[in-house]
Amino acid sequence: MSTDLSRALHDAVDGPVAAGRPALDTTGVAARIRRRRAVRAGVRGTVGLGAAGAVALGAATLARSDAAGLPAAVPGAEPGACGSAAESLGSTHGDASIEVVGAGVGVLSATSWQYDSRGPLGSLQGRELAVSFTTVLDAGPGATAELVPSLDEPPHLAVVRDGIVVSVPGPARRTPAQEAVDSQARLDPSGLNPGGHDASAPRELVVDLAACGTDGEPLPPGRYDVYAWTDAASPGERVVDGPWELELLERASTPVPLPAGFPADVPLVPGELVEAVELDGTTASGWLVTVGVAGTDGRQRALRALADAGYTAASAELLDGGRTPQSGLTTLLDAQHVVELSETVGTRHDRELTYRIRER
């Protein structure tokens, strides 16, 4: 017997449909498309409004608008460089891929941290992108090998809109949460991590999302695609993966209204105050404050604000290979206060951050 391969494939695709097979459900698909199109239209509208404003306000504003705008395509740009076409990155030659997981987008169950390595990297108010990387190699039928890229040579990232690279984030550095985890690992008296870090655990890194062609101007709100690539996993061959969706939100700046007596040296992430309780000392003293925020990067922004105010990591839970779960607890301190920060998925907000504050 011989098989006509072309005919067999056409039969497999275009042959009669089996009875009873339900049609493809497009309800959710149409909703996702509407949302994406709305975001794109909104971005175009914002750009148009900015251009009109520049005409009205004169040359100085026009120059500012140009500086804050996203770059156009640059013919001949190196693949992955500012202004290059995303297509120029090509695709992986071989059976290697890169997993990029956004911090704060997974779901922590009772026993594990679940995430989708193809899922969006998150919706961010801030312009720091926190991710963990894993390089995956196909090691033959039914087997894969996972490698954790060196912190010194993490994969490169390119942020793309409308097919053009508009931001080349870097250099990567550890997130405050990762620094807390590493700090605890080095001090771990149990001996479970005698060398300090668990080399097989993906590490959380953070990069700044600055627009190409600007002096560090943050990327404007909108929906982007992120690509990752590395030359390290497979010598001589570039490993390219992506895209992952990334949504950048308008940045909230309204400070949280604080009750009288709240310690002024504890910066809270901007958002809506859900609860602020001054503990009366019966069982504990200090403050318990919960702030609701939009986006998935509330924890990252809260930790950054504390770090910028001089707080340093004291300890952190080390869960599920060092990745930071949503409900992970991070403890930071300065000379006067100890702050324990935790995060949950809110009912009225994307995330709710709870600060437990006590004097040292």
Partner 1 sequence: MADWEHVLDALVRERGAALVRYAALLTGGTAEAEDLVQEALVRAFSQGRPLREAHAAEAYVRRAVLTVFLDGYRRRRRWSGVRHLLAGAETTDGPEDASAARADVHAALATLRPRLRACVVLRYYDDLTVPEIAGRLGLSDGTVKRYLSDAIHALEGALGPLPVARTLDVTLLPTGRTR
If binding is defined by CB under 8 A, does position 36 make contact with partner 1? yes
Q: How far is the CB of 35 from partner 1 (least distance, A)?
A: 9
If binding is defined by CB under 8 A, does position 2 make contact with partner 1? yes
Residue from the set 60, 110, 143, 335 that interacts with partner 1 by CB under 8 A? 143
Q: How far is the CB of 116 from partner 1 (least distance, A)?
A: 7
If binding is defined by CB under 8 A, does position 136 make contact with partner 1? yes
Nearer to partner 1, 23 or 110 (CB): 23
If binding is defined by CB under 8 A, does position 26 make contact with partner 1? yes
Structure tokens at 232: 């390290």
Q: How far is the CB of 359 from partner 1 (least distance, A)?
A: 47
Binding region for partner 1 (CB under 8 A) out of 23-31, 63-71, 168-176, 255-263: 23-31
Residue from the set 243, 270, 292, 322 that interacts with partner 1 by CB under 8 A? 243
Round to whole Å and give the CA distance between 292 and 325: 18
Round to whole Å and give the CA distance between 72 and 263: 47
Helix (H, G, I), strand (E, B) or coil at 308: helix
Residue from the set 106, 126, 242, 295 that interacts with partner 1 by CB under 8 A? 242
Q: How far is the CB of 94 from partner 1 (least distance, A)?
A: 8
Nearer to partner 1, 97 or 296 (CB): 97
Residue from the set 29, 52, 57, 63 that interacts with partner 1 by CB under 8 A? 29
Nearer to partner 1, 89 or 180 (CB): 89
Q: Give the closest residue to 301 by CA, choosing from 104, 113, 100, 133.
A: 104
Contact 86, 225 (CB under 8 A): yes
Number of residues that bind partner 1 (CB under 8 A): 49
Nearer to partner 1, 91 or 200 (CB): 91
If binding is defined by CB under 8 A, does position 260 make contact with partner 1? no
Round to whole Å and give the CA distance between 21 and 198: 48
If binding is defined by CB under 8 A, does position 347 make contact with partner 1? no
If binding is defined by CB under 8 A, does position 241 make contact with partner 1? yes
Binding region for partner 1 (CB under 8 A) out of 136-144, 175-183, 189-197, 295-303: 136-144
Structure tokens at 191: 């001996």
Dihedral in degrees, nearest 10, Cα atoms 95, 96, 101, 106: 40
Q: Give the closest residue to 54 by CA, choosing from 45, 63, 46.
A: 63
Kindly give the interhelix angle for 59-68 and 27-57, rounded to the nearest 10 degrees.
150
Write the DSSP symbol of residue 320. Answer: S
Nearer to partner 1, 297 or 320 (CB): 320
Round to whole Å and give the CA distance between 100 and 78: 23
If binding is defined by CB under 8 A, does position 32 make contact with partner 1? yes
Burial class (CB in 10 A: 0-12, 13-18, 19+), 161: buried
Write the DSSP symbol of residue 257. Answer: P
Note if the bond before 243 is cis, omega within 30 degrees: yes
| Region 60-119 residues binding partner 1, contact defined as CB under 8 A | 87, 90-93, 95, 97-99, 116-118
Burial class (CB in 10 A: 0-12, 13-18, 19+), 352: buried
Nearer to partner 1, 25 or 215 (CB): 25
What one-character-per-residue DSSP string does 63-131 give?
HHHHHHSPPPP-TTPPTTSTT-BGGGG---SSSEEEEEEETT-SEE-SS-EE--TTS---EESSSEEEE
Q: How far is the CB of 114 from partner 1 (least distance, A)?
A: 12
CA atoms 31, 35, 38, 44: torsion sign: negative
Nearer to partner 1, 56 or 143 (CB): 143
| Region 197-226 residues binding partner 1, contact defined as CB under 8 A | none
If binding is defined by CB under 8 A, does position 28 make contact with partner 1? yes
Question: Which residues here bind partner 1, judged by CB under 8 A?
Answer: 1-15, 17, 21, 23-24, 26, 28-30, 32-33, 36-37, 40, 87, 90-93, 95, 97-99, 116-118, 136, 138, 141-144, 241-243
